[in-house]
Amino acid sequence: MTKEGNLKATNIVWHQSSVNRQARSASRGHKSVILWFTGLSGSGKSTLANSVDKALYERGVASYVLDGDNVRHGLCNDLGFSASDREENIRRIGEVAKLFLDSGVIVLTAFVSPFLSDREKARSLVDEGDFVEIYCSADLSVCEERDTKGLYKKARKGDIKDFTGISSPYEEPKSPELTIDTGNLDLNDCVDFVIAKLYQMNILSKG
Protein backbone atom coordinates (compact mmCIF):
# COMPACT_ATOMS: atom_id res chain seq x y z
CA MET A 1 0.00 0.00 0.00
CA THR A 2 2.69 2.47 -0.94
CA LYS A 3 1.27 3.96 -4.14
CA GLU A 4 1.62 7.72 -4.15
CA GLY A 5 -0.15 10.44 -6.08
CA ASN A 6 1.23 13.87 -6.91
CA LEU A 7 2.63 14.86 -3.55
CA LYS A 8 2.98 18.57 -2.80
CA ALA A 9 4.66 17.96 0.55
CA THR A 10 8.34 17.09 0.60
CA ASN A 11 10.54 15.07 2.95
CA ILE A 12 7.83 12.55 3.76
CA VAL A 13 8.18 8.77 3.65
CA TRP A 14 5.46 6.12 3.77
CA HIS A 15 5.61 4.39 7.16
CA GLN A 16 4.97 0.66 7.06
CA SER A 17 2.68 -0.56 9.84
CA SER A 18 4.02 -3.06 12.34
CA VAL A 19 0.88 -5.13 11.76
CA ASN A 20 0.12 -5.67 8.09
CA ARG A 21 -3.16 -6.24 6.27
CA GLN A 22 -2.65 -9.98 5.98
CA ALA A 23 -2.13 -10.34 9.73
CA ARG A 24 -5.25 -8.32 10.48
CA SER A 25 -7.29 -10.38 8.02
CA ALA A 26 -6.02 -13.64 9.50
CA SER A 27 -6.93 -12.44 12.99
CA ARG A 28 -10.45 -11.48 11.91
CA GLY A 29 -11.08 -14.59 9.84
CA HIS A 30 -11.95 -12.77 6.63
CA LYS A 31 -10.24 -10.73 3.94
CA SER A 32 -10.74 -7.02 3.33
CA VAL A 33 -12.16 -5.44 0.18
CA ILE A 34 -13.69 -2.21 -1.12
CA LEU A 35 -17.35 -2.56 -2.12
CA TRP A 36 -18.05 0.50 -4.27
CA PHE A 37 -21.80 1.06 -4.69
CA THR A 38 -22.60 3.47 -7.52
CA GLY A 39 -25.84 4.61 -9.12
CA LEU A 40 -28.28 7.48 -9.39
CA SER A 41 -29.65 9.28 -6.34
CA GLY A 42 -32.56 7.18 -5.13
CA SER A 43 -31.23 3.97 -6.67
CA GLY A 44 -30.84 2.40 -3.24
CA LYS A 45 -27.07 2.60 -2.79
CA SER A 46 -27.09 3.65 0.86
CA THR A 47 -29.97 1.36 1.76
CA LEU A 48 -28.25 -1.63 0.19
CA ALA A 49 -24.80 -0.79 1.56
CA ASN A 50 -26.15 -0.41 5.09
CA SER A 51 -28.17 -3.61 4.80
CA VAL A 52 -25.09 -5.52 3.63
CA ASP A 53 -23.14 -3.94 6.49
CA LYS A 54 -25.75 -5.23 8.95
CA ALA A 55 -25.61 -8.70 7.41
CA LEU A 56 -21.83 -8.69 7.75
CA TYR A 57 -22.01 -7.47 11.35
CA GLU A 58 -24.35 -10.34 12.19
CA ARG A 59 -21.71 -12.70 10.80
CA GLY A 60 -19.04 -11.16 13.02
CA VAL A 61 -17.34 -9.45 10.08
CA ALA A 62 -15.51 -6.13 10.51
CA SER A 63 -17.07 -3.67 8.07
CA TYR A 64 -17.89 0.02 7.75
CA VAL A 65 -20.03 2.18 5.45
CA LEU A 66 -18.75 5.43 3.97
CA ASP A 67 -21.96 7.20 2.94
CA GLY A 68 -21.99 10.11 0.50
CA ASP A 69 -24.07 12.51 2.60
CA ASN A 70 -22.27 11.61 5.84
CA VAL A 71 -18.84 12.22 4.32
CA ARG A 72 -19.94 15.61 3.00
CA HIS A 73 -20.79 16.64 6.56
CA GLY A 74 -17.13 16.39 7.55
CA LEU A 75 -14.27 15.25 5.34
CA CYS A 76 -15.73 16.81 2.21
CA ASN A 77 -17.78 19.68 3.65
CA ASP A 78 -15.73 22.15 1.62
CA LEU A 79 -16.86 20.66 -1.69
CA GLY A 80 -19.86 21.39 -3.88
CA PHE A 81 -21.19 19.45 -6.84
CA SER A 82 -19.28 20.90 -9.77
CA ALA A 83 -17.37 18.42 -11.93
CA SER A 84 -14.08 19.35 -10.25
CA ASP A 85 -15.55 19.11 -6.76
CA ARG A 86 -17.10 15.73 -7.55
CA GLU A 87 -13.72 14.54 -8.77
CA GLU A 88 -12.02 15.68 -5.56
CA ASN A 89 -14.80 14.14 -3.47
CA ILE A 90 -14.25 10.73 -5.04
CA ARG A 91 -10.46 11.09 -4.85
CA ARG A 92 -10.68 11.61 -1.10
CA ILE A 93 -13.08 8.71 -0.65
CA GLY A 94 -10.82 6.44 -2.66
CA GLU A 95 -7.90 7.28 -0.40
CA VAL A 96 -9.95 6.75 2.77
CA ALA A 97 -11.32 3.46 1.44
CA LYS A 98 -7.74 2.36 0.71
CA LEU A 99 -6.84 2.96 4.37
CA PHE A 100 -9.82 0.89 5.53
CA LEU A 101 -8.74 -1.86 3.14
CA ASP A 102 -5.25 -1.87 4.66
CA SER A 103 -6.78 -2.10 8.14
CA GLY A 104 -8.39 -5.43 7.22
CA VAL A 105 -11.94 -4.06 7.12
CA ILE A 106 -14.58 -4.57 4.44
CA VAL A 107 -15.41 -0.99 3.47
CA LEU A 108 -18.65 -0.17 1.68
CA THR A 109 -18.86 3.16 -0.15
CA ALA A 110 -22.23 4.55 -1.22
CA PHE A 111 -21.70 7.44 -3.64
CA VAL A 112 -23.32 8.49 -6.89
CA SER A 113 -19.75 8.78 -8.27
CA PRO A 114 -21.15 9.60 -11.71
CA PHE A 115 -17.99 9.68 -13.80
CA LEU A 116 -16.22 6.61 -15.17
CA SER A 117 -12.79 8.21 -14.92
CA ASP A 118 -13.19 9.01 -11.22
CA ARG A 119 -14.27 5.47 -10.39
CA GLU A 120 -11.36 4.09 -12.38
CA LYS A 121 -8.96 6.33 -10.47
CA ALA A 122 -10.35 4.96 -7.20
CA ARG A 123 -9.93 1.43 -8.52
CA SER A 124 -6.34 2.14 -9.59
CA LEU A 125 -5.35 2.97 -6.01
CA VAL A 126 -5.53 -0.68 -5.00
CA ASP A 127 -4.55 -4.07 -6.38
CA GLU A 128 -6.72 -6.14 -8.70
CA GLY A 129 -9.46 -7.91 -6.78
CA ASP A 130 -9.53 -5.32 -3.99
CA PHE A 131 -12.15 -3.12 -5.66
CA VAL A 132 -15.65 -4.48 -6.31
CA GLU A 133 -17.84 -2.08 -8.27
CA ILE A 134 -21.53 -2.67 -7.56
CA TYR A 135 -23.87 -0.90 -9.97
CA CYS A 136 -27.30 -0.16 -8.47
CA SER A 137 -29.07 0.01 -11.81
CA ALA A 138 -32.47 1.46 -10.92
CA ASP A 139 -33.93 3.45 -13.84
CA LEU A 140 -34.18 7.22 -13.59
CA SER A 141 -37.99 6.98 -13.61
CA VAL A 142 -37.90 4.70 -10.55
CA CYS A 143 -35.47 6.98 -8.75
CA GLU A 144 -37.64 10.02 -9.48
CA GLU A 145 -40.73 8.20 -8.28
CA ARG A 146 -39.00 7.38 -5.02
CA ASP A 147 -37.38 10.83 -4.64
CA THR A 148 -36.85 10.07 -0.96
CA LYS A 149 -35.07 13.40 -0.37
CA GLY A 150 -37.17 15.54 -2.71
CA LEU A 151 -34.06 16.31 -4.75
CA TYR A 152 -35.40 15.45 -8.20
CA LYS A 153 -38.33 17.83 -7.79
CA LYS A 154 -35.94 20.62 -6.86
CA ALA A 155 -33.64 19.72 -9.75
CA ARG A 156 -36.53 19.75 -12.23
CA LYS A 157 -37.47 23.22 -10.98
CA GLY A 158 -33.90 24.39 -11.40
CA ASP A 159 -33.38 24.88 -7.67
CA ILE A 160 -30.47 22.41 -7.70
CA LYS A 161 -27.79 22.79 -10.34
CA ASP A 162 -25.49 20.03 -11.61
CA PHE A 163 -27.84 17.30 -10.40
CA THR A 164 -26.91 13.87 -11.72
CA GLY A 165 -29.44 12.40 -14.12
CA ILE A 166 -31.14 15.76 -14.73
CA SER A 167 -28.62 18.51 -15.41
CA SER A 168 -25.41 16.51 -15.03
CA PRO A 169 -24.60 13.15 -16.65
CA TYR A 170 -24.29 9.73 -15.04
CA GLU A 171 -21.85 7.44 -16.81
CA GLU A 172 -22.91 3.82 -16.30
CA PRO A 173 -20.22 1.29 -15.40
CA LYS A 174 -18.95 -0.62 -18.42
CA SER A 175 -17.99 -3.84 -16.66
CA PRO A 176 -18.85 -3.75 -12.96
CA GLU A 177 -18.18 -6.80 -10.83
CA LEU A 178 -21.86 -6.83 -9.90
CA THR A 179 -24.99 -5.24 -11.39
CA ILE A 180 -28.11 -5.27 -9.24
CA ASP A 181 -31.54 -4.09 -10.37
CA THR A 182 -32.29 -2.22 -7.17
CA GLY A 183 -35.32 -0.65 -8.81
CA ASN A 184 -37.22 -3.93 -8.98
CA LEU A 185 -35.58 -6.53 -6.77
CA ASP A 186 -36.41 -7.12 -3.12
CA LEU A 187 -33.83 -5.64 -0.74
CA ASN A 188 -33.09 -9.00 0.88
CA ASP A 189 -32.39 -10.51 -2.54
CA CYS A 190 -30.01 -7.63 -3.32
CA VAL A 191 -28.16 -8.25 -0.05
CA ASP A 192 -27.92 -11.96 -0.85
CA PHE A 193 -26.32 -11.15 -4.23
CA VAL A 194 -23.59 -9.10 -2.55
CA ILE A 195 -22.93 -11.64 0.19
CA ALA A 196 -22.77 -14.43 -2.40
CA LYS A 197 -20.20 -12.39 -4.37
CA LEU A 198 -18.03 -12.09 -1.26
CA TYR A 199 -18.08 -15.85 -0.77
CA GLN A 200 -17.38 -16.39 -4.47
CA MET A 201 -14.31 -14.15 -4.22
CA ASN A 202 -13.19 -15.91 -1.00
CA ILE A 203 -13.40 -12.62 0.90
CA LEU A 204 -15.64 -14.51 3.31
CA SER A 205 -14.96 -18.12 4.18
CA LYS A 206 -17.65 -20.74 4.68
CA GLY A 207 -15.30 -22.62 6.94
CATH number, domain of 45, equals: 3.40.50.300
Provide the pLDDT for residue 207. Answer: 61
pLDDT digits (tens, 9 = 90+) for 158-207: 999 889 999 999 999 999 999 999 999 999 999 999 999 999 999 998 76
Averaged pLDDT for residues 12-34: 80
Provide the pLDDT for residue 13. Answer: 63
**CA pair distance 174, 203, nearest whole angstrom:** 23
Q: What is the mean pLDDT of the chain?
A: 90
**4 is a domain residue:** no
Lowest mean pLDDT among 19-23, 38-42, 81-85, 147-151: 19-23
**49 is a domain residue:** yes
Structural domain of 195: 21-200
**37 is a domain residue:** yes
**162 is a domain residue:** yes
- Based on the residue annotation, tell me whether 117 is a catalytic residue of this protein: no
**8 is a domain residue:** no
Provide the pLDDT for residue 2. Answer: 44
**122 is a domain residue:** yes
Of the residues 32, 43, 63, 113, which is catalytic?
Answer: 113
**7 is a domain residue:** no
Provide the pLDDT for residue 200. Answer: 96
Q: Taking the CA of residue 175 as centre, how many other CA atoms within 13 Å lie in the half-sphere pointing to its CB?
A: 1
Could you give the number of structural domains in the chain? 1
**206 is a domain residue:** no
